[in-house]
Structure 1
Amino acid sequence: MRMVGPRSTTDQRLRDLALLRRVRDRIDRDYAQPLDVPALAREVHLSAGHLSRQFREAYGESPYSYLMTRRIERAMTLLRRGDLSVTEVCFEVGFSSLGTFSTRFSELVGVPPSTYRRDAERLAIPPCVTRRVTRPIRNREAPLATTPLA
């Protein structure tokens, strides 16, 4: 007998959230690997569209946007370290095209990766402060910077 009512709805919602958490954890763990929404959806036995809608509802952005944010956050960390070139960072975080990497980076951070790296080398900011202040911004909300970060 199938239970219908608030309890069954709550139970289903918890199961859905567990599946979404698995997807988010996979993106966090394997961000540098080639990942796509249809493959992620198949792993949790959902359609790509349903996964995207549910993920956006739960986390505020689509799985693809979440993946791009993770990649750019990691790229920012690697660029601040300064021991890899922009091209090496691009491939290290899972992009297959330097142009796409630079475009996405500029959209989220507000400056191109080379400018970010140069400015990060110039500024001596503690890593805990840098992570907090430089978190990528979604939806082209980052102002286009015409001056160095300061």
Structure 2
Amino acid sequence: MDDPRTTTKSAIEQAVVRAVEAMSANIGEPLTIDDMARTAMYSKFHFSREFQRVTGVSPRRFLSALRFQEAKRLLIATGMTVTEISHRVGYTSVGTFSSRFTSSVGVSPTAYRQLGGFTTQIRTQSQPAAREGRSTTLRGEVRAPVVGDLGLIFLGLFPGRIPQGRPVRCTVLTRPGPFVLEDVPPGSWHLLGHSVPKALGEQLMPDQQVSVGSVGPIEVRPDVPVLPIDFRFRAMRTLDPPVLLALLDVRSEAVWRGEVSAWAV
């Protein structure tokens, strides 16, 4: 006999998947929480609570992330203007769209298009506490089901479950294995990672074989050691928030020959 708890969990996840698919299908529409809840066939309050529990973010933040993900795709795959793209993904003000895109992705829409979806560097947040001697070093191990399926591995510490904006600290690895994040300030952080197969040119776009992982929240406190982190990659699912951060352009042959084992900013 099926465990009722498993059946209930599956039904809830299916409802959230329906809501996410409806968001994607109506990306430019002014969707409300009521609209999403009706698609999931739950009350508004129950839907919001369960959506947050399943995905780690609120429905509104997930929808916003989907809109920027689609904007990234349109910037690379089409010749549409930034204004046209902003309207396509539900923004009436191109200024608001451009500002929020830049904050989430790390570069402006125009620069993202010119750079082909990459950025030359990923800047971390300024954290005075780290400079005052109250920082912590995080260590751990990255594991993956099939090593050959991974390209460059990005790991970053973020305040929430969506990899967007400036990470608190980050590193890039060429293969699974040990990692170190130094000078991590006190706080509650999520360690988020993503990797795109090298065969795809490390280009992060929808419907590609993206591997992701997450650990958190990780509580960092002064003078309190943090246990080694076991970070595991898996295939990205519908319920995972989109990766908004522009990929780091470190595609040199020197990296892939193994001359560089890690890169951090």
The answer to whether TM tops 0.5 is yes
Per the alignment, residue 131 of structure 1 pairs with 204
**Equivalent residue runs for 1:1-150 within 5 Å:** 7-81=3-77, 83-120=79-116, 129-131=202-204, 135-137=243-245
Q: Is the 8 A contact 1:90 1:97 kept in 2?
A: yes
Q: Is the 8 A contact 2:71 2:85 kept in 1?
A: yes
1:63-118 per-residue CA deviation (whole Å, 9 max, x = no partner) reads 11111111111111211235111101111222222122112211210122122223
Shift in Å, 1:46: 2.4
1:27-82 per-residue CA deviation (whole Å, 9 max, x = no partner) reads 12221222121221133332333212211211122211111111111111211235
Q: Is the 8 A contact 1:82 1:117 kept in 2?
A: no
| Equivalent residue letter for 2:56 | G
CA separation of 1:23 and 1:107: change in aligned 2, threshold 3 A: same
| Equivalent residue letter for 2:77 | R
| Equivalent residue letter for 1:94 | G
Aligned length: 134
Percent identical: 29
Shift in Å, 1:122: 9.9
Which stretches in structure 1 are left out of the alignment for 5+ residues? Answer: 1-5, 143-148
Shift in Å, 1:127: 6.4
| Equivalent residue letter for 1:84 | M
| Equivalent residue letter for 2:244 | P
Which stretches in structure 2 are left out of the alignment for 5+ residues? Answer: 120-198, 211-241, 251-265
| Equivalent residue letter for 1:131 | L
Q: Which moved more, 1:10-19 or 1:84-93?
A: 10-19
The SS at the match of 2:116 is helix
Between the aligned partners of 1:18 and 1:81, the Cα distance in structure 2 is 30
CA separation of 1:51 and 1:7: change in aligned 2, threshold 3 A: same
Q: Give the structure with the higher percent helix.
A: 1
CA RMSD of aligned residues (A): 3.2
Q: Which moved more, 1:98-107 or 1:69-78?
A: 98-107
Q: Is the 8 A contact 1:82 1:121 kept in 2?
A: no
Between the aligned partners of 1:39 and 1:17, the Cα distance in structure 2 is 17
Between the aligned partners of 1:61 and 1:121, the Cα distance in structure 2 is 25
Per the alignment, residue 146 of structure 1 pairs with none
Between the aligned partners of 2:79 and 2:244, the Cα distance in structure 1 is 21
The SS at the match of 1:120 is coil
CA separation of 1:54 and 1:18: change in aligned 2, threshold 3 A: same
CA separation of 1:74 and 1:46: change in aligned 2, threshold 3 A: same
Between the aligned partners of 2:118 and 2:105, the Cα distance in structure 1 is 17
State the TM-score, normalized to the length of structure 2. Answer: 0.43
Q: Give the structure with the higher percent strand.
A: 2
Task: Give runs of ≥4 in structure 1 deviating > 6 Å.
Answer: none
The SS at the match of 1:129 is coil
Between the aligned partners of 2:62 and 2:118, the Cα distance in structure 1 is 29
